[in-house]
Chains A and B, each alone.
Chain A
Amino acid sequence: DTAVSQTPKYLVTQMGNDKSIKCEQNLGHDTMYWYKQDSKKFLKIMFSYNNKELIINETVPNRFSPKSPDKAHLNLHINSLELGDSAVYFCASSRGLNTGELFFGEGSRLTVL
């Protein structure tokens, strides 16, 4: 049973479209994250949520809107997709805010054409 699962794993879409990526964790963690990995493998945090409350918004364009319906889910919706949004998006979770021990999903590879 996968601890942190994301869907879809692959997403190919046209510029200007809107898409969503879903994430669920079954670890009972309070904190969830979205990280973006670019083509050079560089990873950067986008958002973090703790108990459904937004904690970190790392100057991400407002075309990106995370939503946490409950502690076990953190979805990412992207409006008006641009070429530069092509990346692998990783969902992660942790027991709390004051830890660097994150559990990552397998990633969702988004390709914008």
Chain B
Amino acid sequence: GNSVTQMEGPVTLSEEAFLTINCTYTATGYPSLFWYVQYPGEGLQLLLKATKADDKGSNKGFEATYRKETTSFHLEKGSVQVSDSAVYFCALSAGDSGGTSYGKLTFGQGTILTVHP
């Protein structure tokens, strides 16, 4: 079956520090990969995505590259802000033999990020 593994949290950083959150996956076929973010008290929001190998997704200074050879999709940001404090989820969507994913996302366990001033 499909699975996503994220680095254990929580992660605590000072403002302007470099962020990496590791994510690796196992999937049948060729999944699409996503990072979602959940701010305190809110629902999840799509942060970025990549649909094929070597694609780089980017948004709000965050980026992640789809690495098929290492089955990874690590999230990075060069300089974090206090407002980036949230829970980050890596997820995949894998199609069946006909290519339909049915919108089913398989999520990692989430990584709590806290950024201090």
B77 surroundings in chain A (CB, below 8 A): none
With A99-B93, A105-B43, A106-B43 as given contacts, are A42 and B109 in contact (CB-CB < 8 Å)? Answer: yes
Is the CB of A83 closer than 8 A to any CB of chain B? no
B105 touches A100 (CB 8 A): yes
Is the CB of A66 closer than 8 A to any CB of chain B? no
B residues 15-57 near A (Cβ < 8 Å) are: 32, 34, 41-46, 49
**18 extra A-B contacts, CB within 8 A, seeds A45-B105, A104-B45:** A41-B109, A42-B107, A43-B44, A55-B102, A56-B103, A58-B104, A97-B100, A97-B103, A98-B103, A99-B101, A100-B34, A100-B49, A100-B92, A101-B46, A101-B49, A104-B44, A106-B41, A107-B42
B34 touches A90 (CB 8 A): no
B46 touches A102 (CB 8 A): yes
CB closest residue in chain A, given B41: A106
**Minimum distance in angstroms from B66 CB to a CB of chain A:** 13
Docked CA distance A56–B103 (Å): 9
Within 8 Å by CB of B101, from A43, A100, A104, A106, lies A100
A99 touches B103 (CB 8 A): yes
With A41-B110, A101-B49 as given contacts, are A4 and B43 in contact (CB-CB < 8 Å)? Answer: yes
Is the CB of A86 closer than 8 A to any CB of chain B? no
